[in-house]
Structure 1
Amino acid sequence: MTQWNDLFAEDRTDDFDDFPTRAFLERALDRRALPPGADVLEYGCGTGPAACYLAARGFRVDAIDLIPEAITLARRFAQDRGVQVNFAVQDICAMPPESKQYDVVLDSYCLQSIVTDTDRSTVYAAIRARLKTNGYYVLATATYEPDRVYEPPYRYDATTGICYRQVVEESPDAVQLDGHWHLPHRRHLRPEALKAELEQAGLQVLSQEGPYGGELICRASPPR
């Protein structure tokens, strides 16, 4: 998908400043002693509401998304609000190994769309490489909800936390389930499984909250 409207039906400018992670982000930042003008990287930034919010608070923000139209809209919205954000089209799963380091790496509901073990390991490695020694990984992600219903063409694998979407024919990453091809679509881990995954990836979980344990603050674990 290369167009923002492949994912969202409209630009959603009406609720731009009331983005879903705002309250959590405010709490997370208020708890941490960040230097003035701290450097922030947001991946999966979409049209940029969190990035613009951070820039308005005095942070130096780099923000990336793999959908070009989202970045075009984000630049326009930032200009409308008079804030400076360095937006770029970039896939977090294909980031170069060497890069600038940040005081904060932010994920505002992107991680659940990074589904396979390989891609998630790549993302975690990219995050660790970009965190300063005392930097924080601030994460908000969808997790397993007992009342969520997965109706066709979706089905949920409780063992892996992967939600699959049925497709017509075989394609890369597709798997056969009950004689039909399915693609990994989302990953909704239980809170304890998400924490274990992060710790296995070399990230220390400092706090985990939210109704379903999907709001976390982490930092890179010290070398052993």
Structure 2
Amino acid sequence: MRYYYAEHQAAYQRLVHEGLTQWSDLFGETDEYDVFPNRPFLEHALTRLKLPAEPDVLEYGCGTGPAACFLAARGFRVDAIDLIPHAIAMARRFARERGVDVNFRVQDVCVMGAGGKQYDVVLDSYCLQSIVMDADRANLLAAVRDRLKSSGYYVLSTAMYDPDRVYDNEFRYDATSGICYQAAGPAEDAIQLDGTWYLPHRRHLQPAALRAELETAGLCVISQDGGDVICVRSHGA
């Protein structure tokens, strides 16, 4: 089981059990489905994008689908994917309740690969920080670029390095890579640090490092405010 699966599976099982609606509810950040963490940035970003009348959108790591439903209600044609079946089941229910049409499906974003449909917008609503390892992030960003139309936009919200964030004794932060590791037993993707097993947990980069990573992946950053970023495809990349 890959490092990013167990935590997310457990979280969405807890959402079902506790009658909550989205990931951020677990941390007291939200309490209404239609009020999702990156909604203010997304609303602002949409005023800046030059889009056709009925844009095609792919949201990866969609969770229970609040951003996907938000876009579908505004005339976007939305495909939305997530790793966890519980999340997709909830997303489909919430879409039905709102009378919006979203093509939800279960898909691991780290193995999307090249090819397939291209989109006017590819959206990340706080998924990328949970994709930790270099190879996984490179695969994901390559797939993002491959799925953008020549005039398309990558709209990204991701958690960033915060000097005030406290990593307790269960976690270990590597400032060089931006990787936060969590103590765990031996497992796929686990590494030993000073005799203790750790799993990759989050990638908290500083803005310049995130920008450099995106540019290396063939994406041109046209707007960045911390972890809220708008990119287009780099010409000739």
Q: Shared fold (TM-score greater than 0.5)?
A: yes
Cα-Cα RMSD: 1.4
- Residue 35 of structure 2 is aligned to residue 29 of structure 1: no
Q: Structure 1 residue 181: deviation in Å? A: 0.7
- Residue 121 of structure 2 is aligned to residue 104 of structure 1: yes
Q: Which amino acid aligns with 1:206?
A: I
- Residue 55 of structure 2 is aligned to residue 41 of structure 1: no
> Match for 1:92 among 102, 109, 120?
109
Change beyond 3 A, Cα 1:24–1:7: farther
- Residue 12 of structure 2 is aligned to residue 5 of structure 1: yes
Change beyond 3 A, Cα 1:11–1:204: farther
Change beyond 3 A, Cα 1:11–1:93: farther
Question: Matches of 2:220 and 2:14 in 1, distance apart?
Answer: 32
- Identity among equivalent positions (%) equals 64
TM-score normalized by the length of structure 2? 0.89
Q: How does 1:1-224 map to 2 (within 5 A)?
A: 1=6, 2=9, 4-6=11-13, 8=15, 10-13=18-21, 14-167=31-184, 169-209=185-225, 213-223=226-236
Report Cα offsets for 1:30-70 as digits up to 9, x if no partner: 11121111000000000000000000000000000010010
* SS of the residue 1:112 aligns to: helix
Whether the aligned pair in 1 keeps the contact of 2:57 and 2:119 (CA below 8 Å) is yes
Change beyond 3 A, Cα 1:127–1:11: farther
Number of residue pairs matched by the alignment: 220
Q: Would you identify which runs of 4 or more consecutive aligned residues in structure 1 move more than 4 Å?
A: 6-9
Whether the aligned pair in 2 keeps the contact of 1:34 and 1:103 (CA below 8 Å) is yes
Question: Matches of 1:69 and 1:201 in 2, distance apart?
Answer: 31
Q: Structure 1 residue 177: deviation in Å? A: 1.2
Q: Which amino acid aligns with 2:224?
A: Q
Q: Structure 1 residue 11: deviation in Å? A: 4.5
* SS of the residue 1:15 aligns to: coil
Q: Structure 1 residue 12: deviation in Å? A: 2.9
Question: Matches of 1:112 and 1:96 in 2, distance apart?
Answer: 19
TM-score normalized by the length of structure 1? 0.94
Question: Matches of 1:181 and 1:4 in 2, distance apart?
Answer: 22
Question: Could you list the runs of 5+ residues in structure 1 that have no partner in the other structure?
Answer: none
Q: Which amino acid aligns with 2:12?
A: N
Question: Could you list the runs of 5+ residues in structure 2 that have no partner in the other structure?
Answer: 1-5, 22-30
Whether the aligned pair in 2 keeps the contact of 1:116 and 1:184 (CA below 8 Å) is yes
Report Cα offsets for 1:62-84 as digits up to 9, x if no partner: 00001001000000000000000
Q: Structure 1 residue 6: deviation in Å? A: 4.5
Report Cα offsets for 1:141-178 as digits up to 9, x if no partner: 000001000002111000000000011x3222211112
